[in-house]
């Protein structure tokens, strides 16, 4: 006959993080960019992406991207000591305050697509970059999408990215006061037929 008496067994000791507590195992709970990049700000609205291997990509202003290991340390195998930076778009008028990334997407092959807005020829244009898994620049393009809207907009921006199963990259954003939806080939090409621009909220 089985023994049905209640048994009390000791439980192993466990410590759980309190709700909202910093994870001290991730860079001591707080990570920052070093030296030259110490003044690069990453507002809450700017993007991050977690790779399948647990590494974290963070993008900020002035076309800067950092990659952190799962423990919060900069990944030295990415770009230059863990930080990618380019000055594209600032060569015309130095308006670096408009140069920022708004979206990141990681392709199945590890390629990294980053998009946002940057100054070029005195206009703010949408910018798309493709980086290798190690943070080397493979492709860069900037567009005002004038061919898609008939009249050249003075401002274009990509605010979100998604990668389709065939490798195409879809971006959503604004072109002047218009809604923008554009699809790029993996090499960055697009045609007016692959860009949808719709006027929004016109009286």
Retrieve residue 57's tokens. Answer: 């990509």
In a domain, 16, yes or no: no
The per-residue DSSP string of 128-197 comes to EEEE-TTS-EEEEEEE--HHHHSS--SBEEEEEEEE-TTS-EEEEEEETTEEEEEEE-TTS---GGGEEE
pLDDT computed for residue 59 by the predictor:
86
In a domain, 32, yes or no: no
In a domain, 147, yes or no: yes
In a domain, 174, yes or no: yes
Full domain range(s) for residue 89: 38-199
Find the mean pLDDT for residues 174-179.
Answer: 79
Number of domains in the chain: 1
In a domain, 130, yes or no: yes
pLDDT computed for residue 141 by the predictor:
84
pLDDT in tens, 45-103: 478 899 999 999 998 777 889 999 988 899 999 999 999 988 764 434 444 456 788 99
pTM attached to this predicted model: 0.75
CATH of residue 102's domain is 2.130.10.10
In a domain, 15, yes or no: no
């Amino acid at each position: 006959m089985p023994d049905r008496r209640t048994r009390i067994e000791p439980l192993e000791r466990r410590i759980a993080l309190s709700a909202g507590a910093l994870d001290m195992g991730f860079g001591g709970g707080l990570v920052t960019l070093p030296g030259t990049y110490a003044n690069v700000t990453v507002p809450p609205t700017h993007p991050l992406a977690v790779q399948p291997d647990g590494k974290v990509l963070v993008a900020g202003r002035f076309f800067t991207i950092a990659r952190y290991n799962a423990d919060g340390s900069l990944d030295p195998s990415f770009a230059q000591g863990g930080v990618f930076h380019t000055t594209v778009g600032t060569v015309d008028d130095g308006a670096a305050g408009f140069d920022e990334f708004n979206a990141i997407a990681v392709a199945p092959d590890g390629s990294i697509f980053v998009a946002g807005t940057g100054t070029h020829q005195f206009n703010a244009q949408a910018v798309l970059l493709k980086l290798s898994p190690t943070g080397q620049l493979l492709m860069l393009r900037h567009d005002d999408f004038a061919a898609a809207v008939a009249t050249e907009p003075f401002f274009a921006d990509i605010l979100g990215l998604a990668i389709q199963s065939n490798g195409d990259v879809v971006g959503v954003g604004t072109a002047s006061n218009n809604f923008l939806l554009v699809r790029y080939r993996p090499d960055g090409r697009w045609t007016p037929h692959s860009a949808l621009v719709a006027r929004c909220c016109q009286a």
